[in-house]
Structure 1
Amino acid sequence: MNVVSKDNLIKNVSVAWPLALNAILVQSMVLVDLMLIANLGEISVAALGLVSAILAFFVGTQYALANGTQLILARAVGGNDRHAMANGLVIGWLISAGFTLITSVLLLVGLDELLSWLVDDPLVSRQAYRYLQVSAFMLLVSSFAQVMIAFFNGSGQTRLPLYGYLIEIPMNVLISLVLIYGYFGFPELGLRGAAIGSLVAVSIRFGYLAWQLKRQRNLPIMASRKALNVAQVVTHFREIFPIATNFVTLASGVMLHQMLFAQLDVYSFAAITLVMPWMQMGAQFVTSWALATSINISQFRGRQQTHLISEFVEQAIRIILLLGVALCLVFVAFGELLPILYPKLDEQTQQALAAIAPIYILIPLVRTYNGLCGHSLRALGQSVKVLQIHFVTQWVIGIPYLILVLYCEGPLWAVFGSILLEECLKVFAFRKHLKRELTLLVSSDVERRTKR
């Protein structure tokens, strides 16, 4: 590995480690609620599993829109264009907030019918309804915060969002704990108390991010806001649309998976609900390396240093494979610690957890590789190809397989194994297309140098 490559990988680490901690803290918000309400019983756990799937779709779409904006901002940073950075930030706010307002209204209007269709148990449905009523307001605050996080990440200031989460999480724990169980004279709100705690904590993080944004020097936000026109918004939206569509495809697939899992008995569904946030946290932890890689690729493109990308990506792949193996070993230990983490679980829930253990242990190995390839292809301008791969493996193969297994009343491991099946199918396609893009990149660089 040459000195340039080492320097770039060190830079990747400096961007990735705050992103990794951010990912842990983001996912820990779900885990906070899960661990705090676990003692309320399987009904509350199942309700939280259902609403988490619905919220994951909306938050995931916000994240997708912000992720597309993040790549645009990273290119502007690479070109040292402050006006382009301000434009990207303001347009990102407009798009994200507009999406959230429309979807939140639709969610609240059709919430009762949606929950009635998704779950038969009226107790689960009632608790989920109360949680989602509060969470609609949390989504609006989050829409602005996500774009600010994209700005800080795209400009390499990944520690600032990290500090925001370090403020948010303790507040979430304290407020949720008080409101769930009614400590210090407050009413005992149960699962709804967890939703209120999350809303207050997210609002506090938003305030911190807004303060940090105000401290940014030479960022003409007001001038960009006044100078915006429809053409700029359309151009921005066209670039992020394939990325957003890709994330929406994945998020809606994950939501549908969780809804289909809800058709299982309450013990099996509770087991999956207990495991999924930990799986997602592990995936997000390693995805931070992939995100940092995509940010640096975008900055290479902004600085016209595309000749450095190929070797940089190959080195990043080797590292993420090692991280994937390490994560598999972490989940082996996690399986042994489950009785300690959740000591009051029903015996049938414990049996279901044991049945799906081999699957959630193996998933990180392939998911981490796919994540890096997908993010790298997006940064190289191949978002449509990534979308096609995800759509075919998830919607054409994975979800029909899951529906078939559920219809045939297959074993729990076969139902949960639909996630692993999808990830395995993506490996070959991602590797093939990424290798081709890197080869074309090297060829174009050689051709350009020859002409010079």
Structure 2
Amino acid sequence: MTHFPLTRDIPSTRAVFNLAWPLTFKAIMLHGIVVIDAWLVSSLGEPAVAVLGLSASIAGLLLGLIVAFSNATQIRIAQAFGSGDRVFLKSALLAGLTINVSVILAGLAVLALAAGPAIEALAHDAWIADQARRYLSVFAVVILAEAVGQCLTGFFNGCGDTRLPALSYGLAVPVNIATSVILIHGHFGAPALGVLGAALGSALASMVQVGFLAVVLLRTRRDLLRTPGWRNGSFSASLRRHLVFALPIAATFASATIALHVCGLIYATLPVNQFAAMTIIMPWVQVAGTVGMCWAQATGIMVGQMLGRQTPPEDLEVFLAAAWRVALLAAALVATFYAGVILASPWLYADLSRETQMTLLGFLPILLVLPFPKGSNAICGNTLRAGGDTVYVMHIFIWSQWLFRVPATAVMVLWLDLPVIWIFSLLLLEELVKFPPFHLRLLKGTWKTAPPEP
């Protein structure tokens, strides 16, 4: 069996940074697509922004499933890479890719059947409903491309090569912006397609991104794909084992994403100005939040690799303490960025009404506090997952979302008709609910001596 060279050195903060910055760049580019689309269509008025918000809430359910299973594959890849087992590495890649494509094909079939009634029930008027249906019909291409692209991204990230996925988005985003601008407004003789133009731009960009990663994989890792044998004796057995490992992680991410987009669908019943404000701010929350989230994700990759080579618990503690200090600094930077975006919103979104702009300003106090508990919870969650404590992490996410945030959102919006500021504050309250169980479990320390997954 061929093994990769191993080291028992404790990774430095710089090593985590070298993993984290491409992850952050890639994530900003991914979420930035939505921010850019929202900014581009904001000149068409609040109804156009509402179309984007409604469509993104529905499509985001499937994109969340892709990210969920891909994150599970990423952890599995990190463990395989740390152990130096090429058969394990190949098995994790192909099993993850098979699961991603299968899940999304099934999801697209459900979307074809269920999206129409959901849009009719939630759209403010017939024009918004028609435009949302058109947007989703094109955005299905993005979803299918991301099923492959996110798995390949997880493979390169788990191997410590986070720059390639970042580069792939660096190539795709300019394509998205240029195509969207042309097709939204009808420049250079192209038809003015409005919101549909944004969907076409995203579809073309996604195909560029996944095509780049596929070509790189085939050119640089062809020998890995030809490695004989499977981790658990056969591909079907390896697929089952991968699925067993992935399900709690996938359920965690899927629950978070589904809860986010269920809340997004509830937001769609708000008055148009308030819904437009939520549609604008939520992508910014995700974009800036990726700084802390990707630092935590890079920390989890390193922990997975360290556990794969059986690093002593005391070395893990030293590494994690250093990573945590940087996480607090990242939270401060994110809070500062949020303040800049909110204070600049009258200029960024000058075409929107004053009511919408004042609503955005009201979000500022919450955004100044949110990054700190969120970043610390992310360090805990990624570390516990890397140590195999995936079911516990799943329970924290699921119960905080489905026993607290989602029902609280429904009550505030559908029954109490509270101001949107109170509804937005649930983002912070959810992180405070998760804070004690996450940190108590991490301090317990059983994840540091968990046996490696078969």
**TM band (smaller chain):** over 0.9
2:442 matched to 1:434?
yes
The alpha-carbon deviation at position 261 of structure 1 amounts to: 1.2
Compute the RMSD of aligned alpha carbons. 1.9
Q: Distance in 2 between matches of 1:131 and 1:419?
A: 28
User: Tell me, what secondary structure is at the counterpart of 1:344?
Assistant: coil
Q: Which consecutive residues of structure 2, in runs of 5 or more, have no partner in the other structure?
A: 1-7
- Aligned residue in 2 for 1:283: 289
Q: Distance in 2 between matches of 1:4 and 1:222?
A: 31
Check the 8 A contact 2:343/2:361 in 1, yes or no: no
> Using a 3 Å threshold, how does the CA distance of structure 1 residues 217 and 246 change in structure 2: closer, same or farther?
closer
Out of 90, 93, 106, the position equivalent to 2:94 is 90
Mapping 1:322-361, distance limit 5 Å? 322-361=329-368
Q: Distance in 2 between matches of 1:218 and 1:349?
A: 52
User: Tell me, what secondary structure is at the counterpart of 2:128?
Assistant: helix
Q: Distance in 1 between matches of 2:101 and 2:234?
A: 16
2:258 matched to 1:252?
yes
2:248 matched to 1:242?
yes
The alpha-carbon deviation at position 229 of structure 1 amounts to: 2.8
- Aligned residue in 2 for 1:448: none
Mapping 1:85-164, distance limit 5 Å? 85-164=89-168
User: Tell me, what secondary structure is at the counterpart of 2:220?
Assistant: coil
The alpha-carbon deviation at position 228 of structure 1 amounts to: 4.6
Q: Which amino acid aligns with 1:265?
A: P
Q: Distance in 1 between matches of 2:147 and 2:320?
A: 31
The alpha-carbon deviation at position 225 of structure 1 amounts to: 9.3
TM-score relative to the length of structure 2: 0.93
Out of 217, 232, 248, the position equivalent to 1:213 is 217
Mapping 1:57-76, distance limit 5 Å? 57-76=61-80
Q: Distance in 2 between matches of 1:299 and 1:118?
A: 45
Q: Distance in 2 between matches of 1:126 and 1:170?
A: 28
Check the 8 A contact 1:82/1:218 in 2, yes or no: no
2:303 matched to 1:297?
yes
Q: Which amino acid aligns with 1:208?
A: F
- Aligned residue in 2 for 1:19: 23
4+ runs deviating over 4 angstroms: 222-228
Q: Distance in 2 between matches of 1:349 and 1:114?
A: 25
The alpha-carbon deviation at position 10 of structure 1 amounts to: 2.1
Q: Distance in 2 between matches of 1:160 and 1:369?
A: 27
- Aligned residue in 1 for 2:396: 389
> Using a 3 Å threshold, how does the CA distance of structure 1 residues 136 and 228 change in structure 2: closer, same or farther?
farther
The alpha-carbon deviation at position 80 of structure 1 amounts to: 1.5
Deviations 1:172-194 (A, max 9, x none): 01111111111112111111111
Check the 8 A contact 1:86/1:219 in 2, yes or no: no
The alpha-carbon deviation at position 76 of structure 1 amounts to: 1.2
- Aligned residue in 1 for 2:386: 379
Q: Percent of aligned pairs with the same residue?
A: 32
- Aligned residue in 1 for 2:4: none
Check the 8 A contact 1:399/1:418 in 2, yes or no: no
- Aligned residue in 1 for 2:5: none
> Using a 3 Å threshold, how does the CA distance of structure 1 residues 133 and 218 change in structure 2: closer, same or farther?
closer
